[in-house]
Amino acid sequence: MKIALRLTLVFSVVVATILFIFAAGIYLSSKQDREDEFYDRLRIKTITKAELFINAKVHPSLIQSIHEENKKIMNEAQVAIHDLSGKLLYHDDIANDMIRETPEIFRDIRKEKEIHGYVGKWQTIMLLYSYEGKSYLITGAAYDFYGYNKIDSMFEKILLFYTISIILIVMSGYLFSRNVLNPVKDIIKKVNTITASSLNSRLAPGKNKDELTQLVVTFNSMLNRIDRSFESQKSFVSNISHELRTPLATIAAELELTMQKDRAPSEYKTALKNVFDDTKQLIRLSSALLDFAKASYDPSEIAFSLQRVDELIIEARSQTMKANPDYRIDIVFENDFDSDEDILLSANAYLLRVAFANLFENGCKYSAQRSCRVSICLDRISIILRFIDQGTGIPAQDLDHIFTPFYRGHNQQMASGTGIGLALTKKIITLHQGDIKVSSQTGKETTFTIKLPNNRA
Ligand code: ADP
């Protein structure tokens, strides 16, 4: 069921119920008022007639003829007067007696002094009346013709107005809920037009600062994020293709040139060496990309275990030096540690080794001495690692970009590379809830500072 219809139904049922209680309350209290008022009038009429008969000693036939006349024009009461023993002294119209008095009724009147009741729709009153020391049992009955008429017509009017009100409530409820939901429909329509190729379109927020405007703003900011990541994915893919194409094109050109004529063995050797270098570059790039993809997994899919940071550093060092035997890497402990908790951290050993090896490799390859050092500093909740080299340094204009995938700095001619290393390192450090900062002085030194939470954090 659509929300507009559901809102209309709920709204109509609630308002209709309230209106029903209101109308029923008015009707029932009017009915009660009519009954009370008529008993008051009936009492006065009955006592007045009793006074005419008992006090004023008016002749019964005169009272009876007045009763006969009044019957035609108003709610005339039919009165009967008995003495205490129940003997009938007077009756307005014995032939059409409304109240069949019995000894039990007389007993009840003597006991209660005043009794109200009904005979069909006729209201009855029974009273104990005293005059000059003598008591009488008087009864009166009358039909409230005007009162019932008023109440019945009131009931019809209430029913009519209630029905009209329900129709109006349902109609206005539907219009109201449709009106309220119109902006939501507009949003749905607009959202449906947004596709991967039109990720740059945005929804127009309303003028009011209401929940719908908030929804639109939130949706727009989500689109911004999706758009940005979509764009960076696109440029990432085109960078990968470009980086793969360059060495492949070089290999193809090298082979084509070599095959054009017969060559001396030394020339073949040089050509093969060039092809081998380009292939190594391709392998480096593809493994870096593979690691990048791994580091981009959802953290819940990556296996973490407790690792000693010094062991990971030593392993990364041997890994780097195995591939580059001319590099020199020193490891320095800045302080002692009291417990293993200080040096342990929850990590994916493979990825963290890759990150450290990248920093070692950069430190060595961008310095003429091919050397760098790492210092390990432990505090209560974190492990601080500084990768320092006295190399070429990073030009100031490169500092803001070096963590961007495929970005290579102005000093790139110093060493071969892919531009993936630092982006990958940052991703891995972030995955381990840490952060990485760089400071550098051109021509002097470069320091990458990594802060990782230890097992106590
Ligand atoms: P690359 O494969 O080019 O080394 P990285 O992502 O590892 O790619 O580094 C990005 C850029 O940052 C490098 O091209 C280089 O300009 C600069 N860089 C990184 N580390 C150092 C360093 N230790 N000394 C000087 N420059 C560095």
Length of the chain equals 457
CA-proximal residue: ligand 1, atom 7 (nearest): 421
On the question of pLDDT at 295 being above 90, the answer is no
Instruction: State how far the Cα of 44 lies from the Cα of 77, in Å rounded to an integer.
Output: 10
Tell me how far the alpha carbon of residue 317 lies from the centroid of ligand 1, in angstroms.
Answer: 18
Tell me how far the alpha carbon of residue 396 lies from the centroid of ligand 1, in angstroms.
Answer: 13
pLDDT in tens, 231-281: 888 888 888 888 888 889 999 999 999 999 999 999 999 999 999 999 998
Q: What pLDDT score does 360 carry?
A: 98
pLDDT (mean) for 304-332: 96
On the question of pLDDT at 155 being above 90, the answer is yes
E strand or H helix at 175, and its extent? helix 145-193
On the question of pLDDT at 197 being above 80, the answer is no
Q: What pLDDT score does 264 carry?
A: 94
| Residues having CB within 6 Å of any atom of ligand 1 | 358, 362-363, 366, 389, 391-394, 398, 402, 407-409, 411-412, 417-423, 446
3-class DSSP state of 6: helix
Hey, what are 211's tokens?
């929940």
Q: What pLDDT score does 65 carry?
A: 92
Instruction: Give a three-class secondary structure readout of 204-268.
Output: CCCCCCCHHHHHHHHHHHHHHHHHHHHHHHHHHHHHHHHHHHHHHHHHHHHHHHHHCCCCCHHHH
Hey, what are 155's tokens?
């009931």
Q: What pLDDT score does 299 carry?
A: 81
pLDDT in tens, 353-364: 999 999 999 999
List beta partners, residue 140. 79, 125
Strands 445-453 and 435-441: antiparallel
Ligand 1 atom closest to Cα of residue 419: 8
Q: What is the mean pLDDT of the chain?
A: 92
Hey, what are 360's tokens?
């070692």
Tell me how far the alpha carbon of residue 176 lies from the centroid of ligand 1, in angstroms.
Answer: 63
State pTM to two decimals.
Answer: 0.60
Instruction: Give a three-class secondary structure readout of 278-310.
Output: HHHHHHHHHHHHHHHHHHCCCHHHCCCEEEEHH
Q: What pLDDT score does 452 carry?
A: 97
pLDDT in tens, 357-388: 999 999 999 999 999 999 999 988 999 999 99
15-19, 128-132, 188-192: the lowest-pLDDT one: 188-192
Ligand 1 atom closest to Cα of residue 407: 10
Is 337:360 a contact under the CB 8 Å cutoff? Answer: no
How would residue 339 be classed by pLDDT, with cut points 50, 70 and 90?
confident
pLDDT (mean) for 88-117: 92
CA dihedral 92→95→101→102, nearest 10 degrees, is 150
Q: What percent of the chain has pLDDT over 70?
A: 100
CA-proximal residue: ligand 1, atom 8 (nearest): 419
3-class DSSP state of 41: helix
List beta partners, residue 78. 141
Tell me how far the alpha carbon of residue 422 lies from the centroid of ligand 1, in angstroms.
Answer: 7
pLDDT (mean) for 18-24: 96
Tell me how far the alpha carbon of residue 374 lies from the centroid of ligand 1, in angstroms.
Answer: 17
pLDDT in tens, 42-62: 999 999 999 999 999 999 999
On the question of pLDDT at 329 being above 90, the answer is yes
Tell me how far the alpha carbon of residue 372 lies from the centroid of ligand 1, in angstroms.
Answer: 14
pLDDT (mean) for 429-439: 96
